[in-house]
Amino acid sequence: MKELQLKDVKATLSAAVDRAVAGEPTVITRHGRKEAVLVSFSEWERLAKAPGFAELLLAFPGEPGDMPERPQ
């Protein structure tokens, strides 16, 4: 995963988008802090559709008593 400063992404946005479409995300930093990630639209759609923890729990096919006890 490539990491670029915001000012460099501005100057090379087309290349950064091409890399994202090819499957290589770019981490964008501002003042040395990671602020954003540039990914392809298809990757963003895939990530946006991923179920959250609560959705996974609600989708459990059994009864609550079917879950194993958590070791203490």
User: What residue ranges define each of the domains in the chain, with the CATH number in brackets?
Assistant: 2-58 (3.40.1620.10)
The reported pLDDT for the residue numbered 71 is: 87
Read off the pLDDT of residues 19-65 as tens digits, 9 standing for 90 and up. 999 999 999 999 999 999 999 999 999 999 988 888 888 888 877 77
Number of helices followed by number of strands (H, E) in the chain:
4, 3
Contact status, residue 28 vs residue 4, Cβ threshold 8 Å: yes
User: How many Å apart are CA 1 and CA 59, to the nearest integer?
Assistant: 33
The reported pLDDT for the residue numbered 61 is: 83
**Chain position carrying tokens 């958590």:** 70
Which tokens in the block code for residue 5?
Answer: 């400063």
Phi, psi (rounded to 5 degrees) for 62: -95, -165
User: How many Å apart are CA 47 and CA 22, to the nearest integer?
Assistant: 17
